[in-house]
Amino acid sequence: MRFTAPRGTRDVLPPESELWRRIVQRAEGLFALYGYKEIVLPVMESTDLFVKGMGEGSDIVQKEMFTFEDKGGRSLTLRPEGTAGVARAFVQHNLGRSGLPVKLYYKGPMFRHEKPQAGRYRQFHQLGVELIGSPHPLADAEVITLCNDFFRVLEVPAVELLINSVGDESCRPQFVQALRSFLLKREERLCPDCKRRLEINPLRVFDCKVKECRKALEGAPRVTDHLCEACATHLRSLMDYLQNVNIKFRLEPEMVRGLDYYTRTVFEFQKVKGGPQDTLAAGGRYDNLISIYGGEPTPSTGFSIGLERVAAMLKEGAERNEEIGVFVIAIGEEARKRAFSLVKELRDRNIHADMDFMERSAKAQMKVADREGYPRVVIIGGEEIEGDYYTFRDMGESSQRIVTAEELYGLLMEG
Ligand code: HAM
C-alpha cells in the first residue's frame, strides 16, 4: 500500500527546504535586530480561544478549523493562526510584569480547512511578530517597517503594501450599522454565507469571493468615511511615520481583514495585481484581544508572513549550493577509511564535506561531486596513502595538485 500526504498538505523537499531555511534565517536575523524574542507555542489550543478571539462570524471559525475532542472530552483545535496563542501566553504567564512593550516572534505550522489551490494549503507555515502593549501608531509603523525590511532584504519582487483602519468600538458600530442598512437593500443578491454574515458581522461580506457579492458591495459605505477623530488621527499619524522612513503604501478603504479582533490599523503585503491567495503577509492592531482573554487592556499590533507564498516568489531565483564544500573521493577500502576520517576532521573544522556511500568507481564519484555542485574534490587512492598526501582538485580548473593535510585545511578554510 502506498500513502500520499493528506489533501492540502505537502512535503517540502530539498532544494526548496534549503530556500525555506535561508528565508527563516534571514527573518530571524531581522527579528533579532529589531529586538524580538522567540516564543514557541503549542500547535493546539482550546477551541474557545479561537472562537472568542477571531469571532464567531469569521470564515476561519465558521468553516476552517480542525477541531477534535481529546480523550477527556475537551474540545481542541489545531491553531489556524498564532496571534491568539501569543495573547493567551501573555496573559497566562503575566509576560507584561517587567514592562511593556513585549516583543515576540513565532514560527511554525498553522492549519485551516480551506479549499486547496495554488498558494492555499490546509497546513501552511507562518513567521509572525507581535508588539504587545503600545497603543501608539509608532508601534504599527515599527511592525510594518520590519515586514517591509523582510521583503527588501530577501529581494522579493513586485510586492505592495496596503493599509487601512477598521476603526474602534466608538466608531465601528455606526459604520457596521450603515453597511448593514446598505446591504439589507441588496440582500437577495447575496450568497447564503453573506446573508448570515449580514446578521453576525456585515464587515465579513468584504471578504467574500463570490462575484455577485462583490458586485452588491459597489458603492457601499467606506470605513474610512466613518472613523472617529481619534481613529482618523491614529491613521494619519501612522501614514506620516511610514512616509518619514520612505515606505510606500496605498490606502485601501475596502480592506477589512478576515478576523474580528482587529481595531484601527490593518495592512497587507500583496503581490502586485495578485488575487486573495497572493497576500504574502498581513497583520494589524488588536487592542481588545488580551482583555477578552482576561488580561489587563493591552493594545497590541503585529503581522504574519506566509512562508509557502514567499518561497514560491523566490523559487526561480534560488541559488544552488551556497556553501563552499568539498567532496572526498576514495578508491578502495583502505582509502575509504581515510576519507571517512578526513571528512570528519573537515566537519570538525566547520568545513562542509561529504563522500560516497555506494562503493562507486572513482569516475562515478567524480560525476556525483559534479552533479551535487561541489566546487572542490579531494582524491585518496593507494598512492596518496603511501605518500601520506592528498590530491586536490578545483572543479573549475583541469589540473590537480598534491597537498599535505595542513595545506589542504588551509586551502579549504580560505573558502
Ligand atoms: P492572516 O491574514 O489570516 O493573518 O494570515 C497571514 C498570512 O498567512 C497570509 O497573508 C498568507 O500569506 C498566509 N496564509 C494564510 N492562510 C493560508 C493558507 N491557507 N495557505 C497558505 N498561506 C496562508 C493572521 O494569521 C494574523 N494572525 C496575522 C496577525 C499577526 N495579525 C496581528 N498579528
Contact indicator for 354, 318 with CB cutoff of 8 Å:
no
Element (H or E) spanning 162, and its range? strand 159-165
pLDDT at 49 over 70: yes
Domain identity same for 260 and 374: no
Kindly report the protein residue whose alpha carbon is nearest to atom 11 of ligand 1.
306
Nearest protein CA to atom 2 of ligand 1, as residue: 282
Between the CA of residue 60 and those of 55, 111, 173, 212, 269, what are the distances in Å?
Answer: 9, 10, 22, 22, 20
Question: Residue 42's domain spans which residues?
Answer: 16-171+227-313
* Coil, strand or helix at 412: helix
In a domain, 5, yes or no: no
Write the burial class of residue 215 (CB in 10 Å: 0-12 exposed, 13-18 middle, 19+ buried): exposed
Last residue of a domain, one of 313, 347, 363: 313
| Inside any domain, residue 375 | yes
305 and 335 in a common domain: no
The domain boundary, picked from 247, 278, 313, lies at 313
Judge if the beta carbon of residue 171 lies within 6 A of ligand 1: no
Task: Supply the pLDDT for residue 284.
Answer: 98
Do 146 and 262 reside in the same domain of the chain? Answer: yes
Identify which of 304, 305, 307, 310 to mutate to test ligand 1's pocket (most ligand atoms within 8 A of the CB). 304
Report the range out of 53-67, 183-197, 236-250 with the highest average pLDDT.
236-250
Cα of 299 vs centre of ligand 1, distance in Å, is 20
Indicate if 244 and 393 belong to the same structural domain.
Answer: no
Residue nearest (by alpha carbon) to ligand 1 atom 10: 281
Q: Looking at the structure, do residues 49 and 97 belong to the same domain, yes or no?
A: yes
The reply to whether ligand 1 has any atom less than 6 angstroms from the CB of 81 is yes
Task: Indicate the number of domains in the chain.
Answer: 2
How sure is the predictor about 207, in pLDDT bands with cuts at 50, 70 and 90?
A: confident
Evaluate whether 44 touches 76 at the Cβ level (below 8 Å). yes
β-pairing, 325-330 vs 376-380, is parallel
Angle, in degrees to the nearest 10, between helices 172-184 and 192-200: 140
Check whether residue 28 and residue 87 sit in a common domain. yes
Q: Is 80 in the pocket of ligand 1 (CB under 6 A)?
A: no
Residue 318: the pLDDT is: 52
Please, are residues 116 and 9 in contact by the beta-carbon 8 Å criterion?
A: no
Sheet order of strands, 279-285 included: 37-38, 102-111, 123-132, 300-306, 279-285, 265-271, 159-165, 250-251
Round the average pLDDT of the chain to a whole number and report it. Answer: 94
Whether the CB of 146 sits within 6 Å of ligand 1: no
Q: Which of 45, 78, 126 to mutate to test the pocket of ligand 1 (most atoms within 8 A of CB)?
A: 126
* pLDDT for position 271: 94
The more confidently predicted of residues 411 and 76 is 76
CATH number at residue 384: 3.40.50.800
Look at residue 415 in the predicted model and tell me its pLDDT. 61
DSSP string, 274-290: --GGGEEEEEEE-SSHH
Which one has a higher pLDDT value, 395 or 329?
A: 329
Q: Is the pLDDT of residue 89 over 70?
A: yes
Q: Is the pLDDT of residue 239 over 80?
A: yes
Which ligand 1 atom is nearest residue 122's CA? 19
pTM over 0.85: yes
Instruction: Specify if 198 maps to a domain.
Output: no
Pocket lining: 53 vs ligand 1, CB cutoff 6 Å? no
128 Cβ below 6 A of ligand 1: yes
